[in-house]
Chains A and B, each alone.
Chain A
Amino acid sequence: MASHSIRVIASTAKVNLIMTWRFFSWTGFALRFFTPLMTLGAAWILYNVVYARQTLPPGFGAVIGSSGYLSFITVGNAFYVFVFAAAFVVGRVMFWERATGTIEATFMTPMSRLAYMSGIMLAAATNSLIDFAAVFILGLAFGFQIALLNAPLFLSSLLLTAFGLFGIGLITNAITLTFRDRTTTANSLMILFMVFCGLVCPVELMPPWAQLISKALPLTYGVRLMRASLLGIVTVDPMHDIAALLVLDAIYVVIGAITLAQIEKNLRKKALFSIF
C-alpha cells in the first residue's frame, strides 16, 4: 500500500512537472511576481521616500532583526509564492480536472487521493522553489541582506509550512468541488494569508483581533521562523513556533483529508462530478 502511494506521488509529481515545463507560460510565470514586486516597490517608496527612514517606532528593530525593514518585507513576500502554489495549484486541481473532463476518470482509479494530491503538492513546491529564489534575487535590488543563516531552521520552516499549506490546499479543493467555483476560494485564501500572516508588518504591531486570526494560520509561524533563520531575529522562540506549526499542520491536513473524502462520497452519490 505504501509503495503504491509512493508510486502515485512520484508519477503525479512527474506528470505535473512535465506539464508545467513543456507548456511553460511566461505570462503565468510573470504574474506570480506582480504582488511581491508591487509590495517590495511600495515598501521601498514608503521607507525611503515618503517617510525618509525617520518614523520607524523604537523597538521595531528587535522585531524585524538586524537586516532592516526591507529584508523583513522581502522574506515575507518570498513566502507569498508558496501561498500562490497552495491556493492556485493544489487548491484548483479538481477544478481543472472537471474543466478538462477528466475528473470522473481520476476518481475511478483505485489510487489514494491523498497520494495524488501529495504528488501535485510536490510538483508545485518544486516549481515554487524557483519562484522563491527569484523573489530573493529581486529583493537584492531593494536592499535585502542576510544577517545570519541558520540552515536547519530555514529548512524546517520551509518544509513545515509547505505541509500546512498542503492541508489548506485539500480544503480548498473540497470547497471548489462543492461550489463549482473557479477562482473565488483561491483568491480569498490569498487575501487572508497576505493580510494576517505578517507578510508586510510584524504580527505584534497588528490590532489584537488580527493577531488572533494570524495565530490560526500556519504561514504566520512559517514566515516568523524563516525570518529568524535569515535575519538574526532574537525575539522569536523557534521551539514554540515549530510546535505551533506542527499542531496546525496536523489539524489542517486531517480536516482537508476528511472533507475531501466526504465531498467525493457525496458527489458520487449525487452523480455531480462533472456537472457544471
Chain B
Amino acid sequence: MFTRVVFAEAVKSLKVYFFSTRTLFWALALPLGNGLYLYFLYLPFATKSVDLQFGATTYTIDLVGFTIIGQLLYSFFTMMLLAGASFDAERWQGTLEVLLLSPASRVAILLGGALANAVNYVWMLVALVLSWVAFIHVGIFVTDPLALCGSLLLSYSAMMALGMCLETVDVYSRRGSIFTAWLQEPVMFLSGQIFPLQSLPVFLLPLSYLLPLTFGLMAVRLTLLGGASIYDVRMPLATLASMTLIFFILASLLVNYAERRAKTKATLTQF
C-alpha cells in the first residue's frame, strides 16, 4: 500500500510538473541565472580558483566548478522546497481536504512528491553537467568514483528527507510558501554555496551544520573537483546518512502533527 501511494503520488506530480514552466524555471533557468550571478560576483577578484579548506588539507578548486556545483546542489534543495508547494497547489485547487480524507499514508504522499521533484530535476542536472564539462571545460578531478556516487546519493537523500519535513509546513500553515521563500537566501549564505565555509564567521557555523546542503557541498566539491577519496570525506558522508534518517523520522512525526492540528482548527483549506 505504502509503495503504491508513493508511486501514484510521484506519477501524478510528474504528469503535472514534468517539463512545465515551473520546472523549467526552477530546474534550468534558476540554476543557470544564479550560477552566473555568483560567478559575476567573483569576477572583480581576478581569480580562477578558490581555496577550500577541509580538515588539515587545503584543496584548490576551479572557480567555475565551485560555483556550478554549489548551484546544482542548491537547486536540488529548492526543488525539494517546491515539493512542499504541491500541498499548496492542492489547497488552491480545493483538493487538499479530499487528499487528506483518503487513508493513504501521509509519509508516502510526501515521499512521492519529493521523489517526483527529484526525478524532474535529475535529468536536467545530468544534461547541465555534461554541457558544462563539454563547453565550459570545468576542471573535473575525480580519483574515487565511489566517493562521488556516495556523496551525490547521500546529499540527495538527506535533502529529500529535509524537503519532506518542510512539506509539512504547507499542511500546517497557509504561509508555508512564504516560509520556504524565507529559507532560500539564508541557506545559500550559510551552506558555503557562495564562498568557502572556512570564511564564514564562526558564530554562524552552528547554523550551517544543521543543513544537509553544507555537508553535501563539502563532499561533492571535494570528490568531484578536488580528487578526494571516500576516506577523506567519511565525516560529511556519515553526517548526511544520519541526517537522512533523522529528517525522515521527523517528517513522519511532523506531518501527523500538522494534519491533526489543521483538522482541529479547520484550517486545511481556509484562506
Contact = CB atoms under 8 A, between A and B. Distances in A.
Q: Dominant SS at the B interface?
A: helix
Nearest to B21: A184
B36 interface: yes
B199 A49 contact: yes
B178 A28 contact: yes
A156 to B, nearest CB: 26
Contacts of B19: none
A56 B42 CA distance: 10
Nearest to B177: A183
B238 to A, nearest CB: 28
Interface of A: 27-28, 30-31, 34-35, 37-39, 41-43, 45-46, 49-51, 55-57, 60, 64, 69, 179, 181, 184, 187-188, 191-192, 194-195, 200-202, 205-206, 210
A106 B37 CA distance: 38
A50 B33 CA distance: 23
25 contacts: A28-B178, A31-B181, A34-B182, A34-B184, A34-B186, A38-B194, A39-B41, A42-B195, A43-B41, A45-B199, A45-B200, A46-B45, A46-B195, A49-B199, A55-B46, A56-B44, A56-B46, A187-B30, A191-B30, A195-B36, A201-B41, A201-B43, A206-B40, A210-B36, A210-B40
B46 A200 contact: no
Given A31-B178, A50-B199, 15 more contacts: A34-B185, A38-B186, A46-B199, A50-B45, A50-B195, A55-B47, A56-B44, A60-B44, A184-B25, A191-B29, A191-B37, A194-B33, A200-B41, A201-B43, A206-B43
Sorted from nearest, which 4 A-B pairs have the closest CB atoms? A191-B33, A34-B185, A57-B46, A201-B40
Given A200-B37, A201-B40, A205-B43, A50 B25 contact: no
A28 B175 CA distance: 11
Contacts of B22: 184
B232 to A, nearest CB: 22
A30 to B, nearest CB: 8
B46 A46 contact: no
Contacts of A187: 25, 30
Interface string B65-99: 00000000000000000000000000000000000
B175 A27 contact: yes
B225 to A, nearest CB: 17
Interface size range of chain B in the complex: 20 to 34
For A42, A43, A64, which residue has the most chain B Cβ atoms within 10 angstroms? A42
A201 B29 contact: no
Contacts of A42: 41, 189, 194-195
B239 interface: no
B188 interface: yes
B196 interface: yes
Contacts of B44: 56-57, 60, 64, 69, 201-202, 205
Contacts of B196: 50
B45 A51 contact: yes
A45 B195 contact: yes
B185 A37 contact: yes
A191 B34 contact: yes
A35 B194 CA distance: 13
Contact of B40 (A31, A184, A188, A200): A200
A38 B199 contact: no
Contacts of B50: 50
A55 B51 CA distance: 14
A127 to B, nearest CB: 18
Nearest to B29: A188
Contacts of A41: 189
Contacts of B182: 27, 30-31, 34
A46 B185 contact: no
B193 to A, nearest CB: 9
A160 B181 CA distance: 30
A135 to B, nearest CB: 14
Contacts of A69: 44
A35 B45 contact: no
Nearest to B175: A27
Contacts of A194: 33, 37
A210 B43 CA distance: 13
A38 B21 contact: no
A39 to B, nearest CB: 7
A202 B46 CA distance: 13
Contacts of B199: 45-46, 49-50
Contacts of B30: 187, 191
Nearest to A57: B46
A43 B186 CA distance: 15
B32 to A, nearest CB: 8
B57 to A, nearest CB: 18
A191 to B, nearest CB: 3
